[in-house]
Amino acid sequence: MTFFKKPKKLITEAKVEHDIQKGLNNKSTVVQNLNLDELLTKVKEPFSATEDLVTQEVELPSDTSRIALLYIESIVDKQLVQSMILDPLFTTGKEITFESFKKMASIDLKQETDFNQVPKFLLQSNTLVFTEDTTCFYTVSTPVKTQRDITEPDNESIVRGAHDGFVENLSTNLALVRKKLRSSKLTIKYLLLGQESHMKLALLYVDQIANPELVKEVEKRVKSIEADAVYAPGNVEESIEDKPFSFFPQILNTERPDRVAANLMEGRVALLYDTSPTAHIMPVNFFTFYQSVDDYNKRWHISSFFRFIRIMGFFIALGLPAIYISIVSFHYEVIPFDLILLIKSSLEDIPYPPLVEALLMELTIEFIREASIRLPARIGSTIAIVGGLVIGDAVVKAGLVSNLMIIVVAVTAIAAYIVPSNEMSAAVRILRFPFMVAAATLGFLGIVFGFLLLLFHLCRLYTFGSPYFAPIAPLNVKDLKDTFLRAPFWKQDTRPQDLNTQKPDNRNHTRKWDKS
Amino acid sequence: MKKKLSLLSVLLLLTGCWDQNVLNKTKLITAGGFDYTKDGKIITTASVPEANAMESGKDSIENQIYTATGTTVRQSRFKLDREVSERLDISKNQIIILGEDAAKEDIYQLLDVFYRDPKSALNAKIAVAKGKASDVISKKFEETKKAAGLGEYLRDSILSAEESSAVPRENIQTVCPVMFDPGQDFALPYLEALKRTIHIRGVALFRGQKMVGEIKEPLSVTYTMLTGKKHEIAMNTTKKIYKNKKPARLNYVTIKVKKNKRSFLVDVTPEGKISAKIKLKTKVTITEYPSDNLSTPTEVRNIEKQLSKKLTKDAQTVIDKLQAMNSDPFGVGRQVMAFHYPVWERLNWEEEYPKIDFTASVDVEVIGHGIIE
Amino acid sequence: MNSHTITHRQLFFLVIQTQIGVGVLSLPYTLFSKAKIDGWISLFMAGIFIQFSVLAIWKLCDRFPKQTIYEILPKIMGKKLGYVFNAIYTIHFSFISILILIMYNSIVGKWILFETPHWVIIFIMAAVGYYVITSSPREIVRFFVLVTPLLIILFILILYAYTDVHLLYLFPVGHTGILTIIKSSADAVVALLGFDAALVFLAYSNASAARNIKVISFASFCITILYGFIVFTTYIFFNPKEIIIVPEPVLYMLKAFSFSIIERTDLIFLSVWIISVATSFVCYLFIAAKGVQTLFGLKEHQKGAPYIAIFCAVIAIIPDDKLEVMTWNKYITMTSVFLSAVFPIVLLVIAVLRKKQEKGAATS
């Protein structure tokens, strides 16, 4: 166990900052008293001989002083360089000096003096402007817009509600969240991860609502990540979650801005990433994974019913094959008489023990699922037909698996996909295998002990200091309004208490007109 | 984590050991019967439905009959087990049939194995058969030829008799407490195998753990009513209330019991004389009255009077029979024990019961008569 | 975050879950074997008696707030004697855990898993117990609260017995004689054990003293009522002559019930009941582990947990036939009644006489 444990070093913020700088500019030295050419050579030093690093020297028409533009071609929009820097310099007449250009040029223009930061700026899609005054330089943000359209995320599609989703661009994503949450208290903190990869991410929370301890904790954990490269949000997730060995997802992945906004207002913290449409929300509890944005746009009875269906789906997906195995091979007494002959006749010629039979079909289903993800949509449906219908039918006819088993497996598979969250669904699908083994060993007793362990594991799991199985354990009747049920909006007048928010009251005072 | 993994792999290796007994490796007994041989050994007859899976989906069921003899029930079961290829299983048994001779001996000795085995089906029906139980079980009935298993058929026959109150509602477990009760006896359905169907003759009465007599079918409904049971879905009976109308069918009326309320009074006089009285208040609807005249209240009153008279007479017949058989299924003794314990302790109930003053009266009220008057 | 305190509501569920355990199944039988059909009266008398024990335990813990029995004992009895008594109590609580394991094993072996080796059945429970007690009391109690709704299933299943009951079986009332009734109430006390968990868990409660006593006393009251209901139900379901030969009347009663979707309800009952057994076992195992911690001066109770779990499991395997189980049952229950129900009263008297009280405790 101890071998796997992450060293829990407390890394102070200053040290992290220092490390990043060291990683960036380990070659550059203090720049002093150099002319422009020398300076340019100097600042280009940290870069290898990459050919997309372009230096463009311009002579201003007004005076003889030279300026030089420095940018990385591949991540800079040249149109922008032209319109934001070159055009103002050349078209506005002879008298223009750099000083006056500064006044009228783009709002993005900033003066910087720290030459150690040069690579960082370059890598963040900035165009740097150097003048003969070598004590400072200017940065203009000219990011290239290689961005797909904002579309609804496929893995979280809904029936009713906003159909926008995050894209692979941080500023667009932030804009989407801001549009949903135009609050002065929405706070965004930028962080950079990876000594070499410099992935930019944003930490979002609503000030005066989110628990400051929580924000601090998340920030601490994120900043403690030390790696040459952090590519995927998954890397971050695995580095900051509480119990890496638990099967259960402890951070909510979503691509929906409305979901992020709603969770922020409940007092949670979100992480958004550049280059990835995935946002992470923390801390979450078990029941968050069973909520869907759709719920809030349906009539509340209907949503409550669907919540119930989903929780039922959890138990069915987890336990149905196990219960089938234990009934068929241990306790067939519990089946009513009129049913047992039916079951018996369908089982009569199956050569395998029920566990093998169940494993065979469960694995087949997983094969089909995995295969259909990888294949293009058109072939995918073919695979589904071949897998689902042909194999299912043939396997029964061949007498390898009973038709009852097929029903059980099919129901289980459907139940597993009821979960709105892909991660939770995967967890449930994995967990059913130990349950099946337990059922085949000890029958009902095995299932009971399986559930005991599972429930207790959920009870002792914490995510970022808040209990995972809240509001069931610890029981908090008030918070049940948005777990098993989806109480109407006018009843949802408090924030979840397990988050220890600064403002537990969310000031939902609707339907006042109805009171008198 | 490593620990969990190793535990898991151990479990994987161990699956299938121990208690596993897979459904498709067993033969389910659905009906069992007990008879005695002349030298007192037990003949067990068991019916096992074997489903022949057919392509069309509808299975046909073939009833296999096995018989074995042994000194005890268990021993004969072991012998049965050796006769069949797979393991015999009793947990889904639907009915136990006791041959007439077997019922007249102590039936607990036969049933002990069912009470003792944790897997046995305690909700199985139990009935007495005229003649031998093996004859009933090995008979080819009309309905069992195709879809129904024998156990299912017999069980359903008894269930429908229960619904019409021809027999009391009992199973292996419900007779058990009564069997042990010195102050109460019980009655079981009494079957007879006809040529192609099963016939419910009535009820077989017990004293203690032995059968002592029977009450035949129409009268057995009165018996069930006297037990104070609430009305059943099909609690019907046809009674002759006039004597001299022609044709004979005009003498009869058919009623359906809607409400049945019993008051049971057991009195002990200071001298120790015990008297018992059952009063029934029965609300009925008339479902058939060939005389076709119910429009006047006087006619209805008249029918009520006649019915009450007839039913009281029937009830008294039943009670007289019971006292003659010395069987106490209504639990007069239980009442004495509960409320007059000192008297009970002094008595020898078996001797006392036939002598007590036990009467019944039935008060019928007609509350409906179908959709015509 | 202080993860060690529990609320008064959680304390309530803790006592309830600890009290409902193996006793449920055989209580009607044990009561009947002595007090005959008046067993239910003995039960209610036991219920009243344990209220005194509960009061004593509460008063004792109230004099030493935020301290477990293991910390209180040395303070009342002096260091050396206190250590001895700590050892006695640790052994006592581990033997209650062992008894739970033994009874659970014998019932599972008798009713569902006939061929499975006993050590498997016992070790699985012990392993679950170990896993659970490696966490803090707060998490354990959360778990107890979580599984409490399952008791409703047990209750409903038993309720179904009322389709076939004979009220007359209860009569004549009071025929057994008051002395026998009182005597057999000692057996009932055993089944109601579980309030003694308060000896340790009161230390974790963050509620006021007045609330604590209300909660524990009410929990014991609820369980007395529930047990009374169960005993009453089985007495009117079975004939007095029959109950003598049925050691687990509750299960036996359920065995005969069948619904249109499920038969053999006793198997369902057993499955749910195992959870109740696990909660009592976990609770006592935790208390025993706490004792081990005190005895050996360990920093955390988790360190002693695996040893105590293995110890309990190994001892629990020893008795292997019914008579041996009964002998163990007899002796352990005898000591339990003394140490859990009677001795706290004695301790309280000693504490009052010697005027032992922790500073800051409410003087009343």
pLDDT grade, residue A10 (50/70/90)? Answer: very low
Chain A residues with CB inside 8 Å of C262's CB? Answer: 334-336
pLDDT at position B62 over 90: no
Q: Is the pLDDT of residue A13 over 60?
A: no
Check B53 against A344: CB less than 8 A apart: no
pLDDT in tens, A375-399: 787 777 777 777 777 888 888 888 8
What token pair was written down for C159?
A: 């309720």
Q: What are residue A269's DSSP bridge partners?
A: A282
Task: Answer whether B22 sits within 8 Å of A245, measured CB to CB.
Answer: no
Q: Tell me the pLDDT band of C292, cut-offs 50, 70 and 90.
A: very high
Quick check: B19 and C114 CB within 8 A?
Answer: yes
The partner residue sitting opposite A333, judged by closest CB among C132, C135, C267, is C267
Which residues from chain B sit within 8 angstroms of residue A340, using beta carbons? 23, 28, 92
A370: closest CA of chain B, how far (Å): 25
Question: How much is the mean pLDDT over chain B?
Answer: 82
The residue-averaged pLDDT of B145-166 equals 82
Please check the confidence at residue A111 and state whether its pLDDT lies above 80: no
Tokens of A152: 């609804």
Chain A hits for C120, CB-CB cut-off 8 Å, are 442
| pLDDT for position C289 | 93
Query: What percentage of chain B has pLDDT greater than the value 90?
Result: 3
Q: Alpha-carbon distance C117 to B189, whole Å?
A: 43
Residue in chain A lying closest to B51 (CA): A345
By CB atoms closer than 10 A (0-12, 13-18, 19+), residue A239 is middle
Q: Where does the pLDDT of residue A1 fall: very low under 50, low under 70, confident under 90, or very high at 90 and above?
A: very low
Distances (CA, A) of B328 to A115, B184, B211, B351, C267: 110, 5, 12, 12, 35
Q: What is the CATH number of the domain that holds C186?
A: 1.20.1740.10
Tell me the mean pLDDT in the region C121-150: 91
- At residue B280, what are phi and psi to the nearest 5 degrees? -110, 135
What pLDDT is stored for residue A433 in this prediction? 92
Answer whether A453 touches B (CB < 8 Å). Answer: no
pLDDT class of B216 with cuts at 50, 70, 90: confident
pLDDT at C91: 92
pLDDT attached to residue A51: 81
CA dihedral C199, C203, C208, C212 (to 10 degrees): -30
The residue with greater pLDDT, B163 or A108, is: B163
The answer to whether the CB of C111 falls within 8 A of the CB of C252 is no
The domain defined by B228-373 folds into GMP Synthetase; Chain A, domain 3 (3.30.300)
Q: Is the pLDDT of residue A268 over 60?
A: yes
Number of residues assigned to chain A: 516
Of A337, A346, A349, the CB nearest to B92: A337
Answer yes or no: is pLDDT of C167 > 90: no
Q: What is the mean pLDDT of residues B85-102?
A: 87
Give the pLDDT of residue A5.
43
Classify residue C361: in a domain, yes or no. no
- Backbone phi, psi, residue B305, to 5°: -65, -45
Longest dimension (CA), chain B: 93
Q: If you measure CA to CA, which chain B residue comes closest to A245?
A: B1
Which range (A154-158, A476-480, C4-8, C353-357) has the least confidence?
A: C353-357
Mean pLDDT of B226-255: 76
Digit-coded pLDDT (tens) for A292-329: 888 888 889 999 999 999 999 999 999 999 999 999 98
- A37 is written with which tokens? 């050419």
pLDDT in tens, C221-278: 999 999 999 988 888 888 888 888 888 888 888 888 878 788 888 888 899 999 999 9
pLDDT at A4: 44
For tokens 């109460």, the residue is B184
DSSP string, B318-348: HHHHHHHHT--TT-HHHHHHHH-HHHHHH--
In this structure, what DSSP letter does residue A84 have?
Answer: I
Which of A303-317, B117-131, B134-148 has the least mean pLDDT? B134-148
Q: Where are the domains of chain A?
A: 13-141, 154-295, 297-460
Start-to-end CA span in chain A (Å): 63
Which amino acid is residue A499, in one-letter code? L
Compute the average pLDDT of residues A469-483. Answer: 83
Query: Which residues does residue A281 pair with via DSSP β-bridges, in sequence order?
Result: A252, A270
In the predicted model, what is the mean pLDDT of residues B144-167?
81
pLDDT tens across A243-267, in order?
A: 999 999 999 999 999 999 999 998 9
The pLDDT tens digits for A480-500 are 888 888 888 888 888 888 888
The pLDDT score that the predictor gives to residue C125 is 92
Write phi, then psi, for C295 (nearest 5 degrees): -60, -40
Neighbours of B, requiring at least 3 CB pairs below 8 Å, are: A, C
pLDDT computed for residue A105 by the predictor: 56
Considering the domain boundaries, does residue C2 fall inside one?
A: no
Number of domains present in the structure of chain C:
1
Chain C residues with CB under 8 Å of A335 CB are 262-263
Distances (CA, A) of B55 to A344, A346, A401, B93, C298: 15, 11, 16, 28, 69
Residue B89 has pLDDT above 60, yes or no: yes
Interface test with B, best of A246, A328, A332, A430 (most B CBs within 10 A): A332
Residue A97: its pLDDT value, please? 57
Q: Are B18 and C115 a contacting pair at CB < 8 A?
A: yes
DSSP, collapsed to helix, strand or coil, labels residue A378 as helix
| Contact yes or no for C113 and A443 at CB 8 A | yes
Rounded mean pLDDT of chain C? Answer: 86
Q: How confident is the model at residue A364 (pLDDT cuts 50, 70, 90)?
A: confident
Of B16, B22, B91, Cβ closest to residue A333: B91
The residues facing B35 across adjacent strands are B43
- Domain with C235, as residue range(s), is 8-347
In sequence order, the β-bridge partners of residue A112 are: A137
A434 CB within 8 Å of a chain B CB: yes
In a domain, C307, yes or no: yes
pLDDT given for residue A26 in this prediction = 45
Q: Which residues of B touch A337 (CB under 8 A)?
A: 30, 92, 94, 152
**A390-404, B23-37, C170-184, C340-354: lowest mean pLDDT where?**
C170-184
Contact C132 A337 (CB under 8 A): no
